[in-house]
Structure formats: C-alpha cells, structure tokens
Amino acid sequence: MFGKAGGMTYRWGIAGTGRIASDFVDGLRQLPDTEVVAVCSRSGDTARAFATQRNIPHAHSSYEALASDPNVDIVYVATPNSRHRGDSELFLRSGKHVLCEKPFALNSIEAESMVATARHEGRFIMEAIWSRFLPVYVSLGEVLATQPLGHITHVAADIGFVAPTQKAHRLNDPALGGGALLDLGIYCLHFARFVLGDHDTVVAHGVLNDQGVDVDATYTLGYKSGATATLRSTTQHETPCIATITGERGVIHVESRMHRPPGFRVQIHGEAERYYRHDELGQGLRHQVPEVHRCIDQGFIESPRLTHSETMSYARTMDEIRRQLGVRYAVDGIA
C-alpha cells in the first residue's frame, strides 16, 4: 500500500529546471507537510545551480538518478512535451507518483501508455491542469451547478501570446512537441469540457509554421445538446484571453487570462449583475497539489476530480484537431 505515513511529509522531486519548474517549487514551498527534496537535470551543473538557488538538498545530474532517489515519493514532470511519456513512465516504474505538466502527452497513444503504466505499477498520475483547482474555477463550477443560464448554447474561449521565434524553441519545434494547441489550446478544451462535457464533433482551421506546427488555430466543437464551442489558441498574437458562456437566460464572462482569471461576471437578463472575484493567494500552481496528496493518501491512481478518462479525451481531441490541421509528430501512429 502506498501513501503518506502518519506524521511524514510529502517528498517531491522536480524533473527539469525550466521556468515552470521554478514556479512550481515556489508553490510547493507555500504548502504544509510538503518538502522539495531533489531536482534533476540533463546537466549536473544546471541541477546544482537550481538546487542551490532554491535550497533543495539533492541535485541529480540525470533523470534516472532522480528516479532511483529513495527520498522522493512524488515527481513533478516539467520537461518539454516530447519527454512527458518517457519521463513519467521512468518515474512510475521506479515507484514514484507523478504530476505531469500539460499536455499530458504528444498524442493519445502515449497518454494511453502512461495511464496503463500507472495502473500496472499501482502509482498515481495526474495531468497538471492547474486551472481546475483554482478557487475561481471551483466557484465557477458551483455557479454553473445552479444552472443560472438555463440551456447553454455557446462557449467561446481564446488564449494567445507572442512566443519567441527561434526555430529551436520548444513551442516552435515539432521534435519537442511544439504548437499552440498542445501548450495553450488545452486550456480552452478544458474550459469547454468543464462547462459542456464531452463534445460530439470538431472542425479545425489554422496556420502552421515552416516546421509544421500550429501557430494559430480555431476549432469548433459541436455537442449533442445543440451547443457549440469556438476555441482559439495562438503563439503569434496577444489575444483577449477571455471566455464566455452564453445561455438562454444570460451570459457568464470569464476575465483574462481565462485559464487563471481573477474573476467572472454573471449577467442574467433582468437581474443585477453578479461579480465573483477570487484573487490568487500565492503561487497558483500550488492549488492542484493538495488533490495529489489526498489521492495518494487514499491509494488512488487517478484523481476523481481530473480523471484519466478526461485526460484521454483531451489527447484524442488534440489528435483529431492536429489531423485536420496537418500537424504530425514523429511518434504519431507508433505505440
């Protein structure tokens, strides 16, 4: 049986030394019963520099060394998208639980393999869609549960920023799993599913860079209820980064940036507008961590709040959107 022994702390290892790894360590530090015990890098110097700056006791010069570290119970995988499967499976097979950055994997074949590995090893894995656990999203979920809009007819969401243009940057390079859809579009797909559940159809249009990854795409999801969702992700433009939910009785406006908004407004026809504000207190990435700890304590291999089947649905949808856009990764079609 796994889980936290009474009175012990949750001991985290960090895989990767990039921007989000740094932010996540800041988040872990704000939680009780939580220790950051080790970090790994492809380079010993980089690992030591990261560890020294953040007062982390162990610095490993390979990902395998972190996997063999008996002091680590849970690993946060913060490497480029192309490594998520390999890194997550390495840690799962070494007996660690895993929180894997979004997108979970490059495609649904990889995602399925990661889920199967977690099941086989009896270890927990979750995709780090941190929006879901932010107080503002919890509040939005509570409001939606009261069905204030009546029948929901449309969801719109966009997310975009101007990314670095170097060909080798992970957002531009297909070998690293580049593309706006996997990095940013996942937040729009998450939002649409959060509001409307599973879709029925998808139609995508977009523009690719000269290396063949999407830099600007719009996709429309259709639902059996008759509702539609229009979603856009781009690494070429600053976009409003807002979301709206339209129903027969009114509209909900989710403020920018829609994956971590300060608040949302509920406008019901003929009623005073209601505004819900939930300032992020501390590092927002930390809100998903108590769910990881709770699941591990209970011996779960998946979170009931963000299930493997939900993660699989994003992976399959992104496969289909990429197919329509003509974006192919080298691992596509390979089990």
Please, what is the minimum distance in Å from the beta carbon of residue 42 to ligand NAP? 4
Judge whether 37 and 11 are in contact, CB under 8 Å: yes
Length of the chain: 335
- Compare residues 78 and 136 and give the one whose CB is closer to ligand NAP: 78
Please, what is the minimum distance in Å from the beta carbon of residue 1 to ligand NAP? 30
DSSP-assigned letter for residue 183: I
Please, what is the minimum distance in Å from the beta carbon of residue 249 to ligand NAP? 33
- Compare residues 101 and 214 and give the one whose CB is closer to ligand NAP: 101
Judge whether 178 and 172 are in contact, CB under 8 Å: yes
Tokens of 5: 């022994």
- Residues sharing a CB contact under 8 Å with residue 84, sequence separation 6 or more, in sequence order: 77, 100, 101, 103, 104, 105, 106, 110, 114, 177
Tokens of 54: 């953040």
Residue 182, phi then psi, degrees to nearest 5: -70, -40
DSSP-assigned letter for residue 275: E
Please, what is the minimum distance in Å from the beta carbon of residue 335 to ligand NAP? 22
DSSP-assigned letter for residue 260: S
Please, what is the minimum distance in Å from the beta carbon of residue 291 to ligand NAP? 15
Distance CA 209, CA 218 (A): 15
- Residues sharing a CB contact under 8 Å with residue 97, sequence separation 6 or more, in sequence order: 2, 73, 74, 75, 123, 124, 125, 292, 296
Q: What 3-state DSSP class applies to 11?
A: strand
247 bridge partner residues: 152, 250
Please, what is the minimum distance in Å from the beta carbon of residue 267 to ligand NAP? 29
Tokens of 138: 């919890």
- Compare residues 176 and 252 and give the one whose CB is closer to ligand NAP: 176
- Compare residues 13 and 80 and give the one whose CB is closer to ligand NAP: 80
Could you give the angle at which helices 186-196 and 308-325 cross, rounded to 10 degrees? Answer: 120
Distance CA 330, CA 333 (A): 8
Which stretches of the chain bind ligand NAP, using CB under 6 A? 16-21, 41-43, 46, 78-81, 83, 101-102, 128, 130, 170, 176, 183
Please, what is the minimum distance in Å from the beta carbon of residue 106 to ligand NAP? 10
- Compare residues 61 and 153 and give the one whose CB is closer to ligand NAP: 61
Residue nearest to ligand NAP (CB): 18
- Compare residues 17 and 228 and give the one whose CB is closer to ligand NAP: 17
Q: State how far the alpha carbon of 59 is from the alpha carbons of 16, 26, 254, in Å.
A: 11, 17, 41
- Compare residues 186 and 202 and give the one whose CB is closer to ligand NAP: 186
Residue 329, phi then psi, degrees to nearest 5: -100, 155
Please, what is the minimum distance in Å from the beta carbon of residue 47 to ligand NAP? 6
Q: What is the 3-state secondary structure (H, E, C) of 279-295?
A: CCCCCHHHHHHHHHHHH
Please, what is the minimum distance in Å from the beta carbon of residue 266 to ligand NAP? 26
- Compare residues 41 and 117 and give the one whose CB is closer to ligand NAP: 41
- Compare residues 183 and 302 and give the one whose CB is closer to ligand NAP: 183
